[in-house]
């Protein structure tokens, strides 16, 4: 019985991971209109959103590396 449940979950997760990108790209295409982006939005993106995103990635990476030895000790 456990083998059937495990196989079903593997198939379900595989199908979900394969099908999700198709749905999100269709949704993004239907909500985006060309020429809808203003100069102010582009300036805010380049001056605020991109640096904050890069900072978040660097901070997360540093925290991961710092926590790694403690995680490895607990097994």
pLDDT the model gives residue 34 = 67
Which pLDDT tens digit goes with each residue over 18-68? 888 777 776 666 666 666 778 898 899 999 999 999 999 999 999 999 999
Structure tokens at 51: 């640096």
pTM score: 0.51
Summarize the confidence of residues 9-26 as an average pLDDT. 85
| Of 20, 19, 13, the residue nearest 5 (C-alpha) | 13
The upper half-sphere exposure of residue 28, i.e. CA atoms within 13 Å in the direction of its Cβ, equals 6
All structural domains of the chain with their residue ranges = 1-32, 37-75
Q: What share of the chain is helix, strand, coil (3-state, %, to 5)?
A: 90, 0, 10
């Amino acid at each position: 019985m456990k083998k059937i449940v495990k196989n079903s979950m593997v198939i379900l997760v595989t199908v979900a991971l394969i099908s999700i990108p198709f749905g999100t790209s269709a949704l993004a295409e239907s909500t985006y209109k060309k020429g809808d982006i203003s100069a102010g939005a582009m300036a805010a993106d380049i001056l605020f959103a991109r640096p904050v995103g890069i900072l978040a990635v660097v901070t997360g990476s540093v925290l991961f590396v710092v926590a790694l030895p403690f995680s490895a000790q607990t097994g």
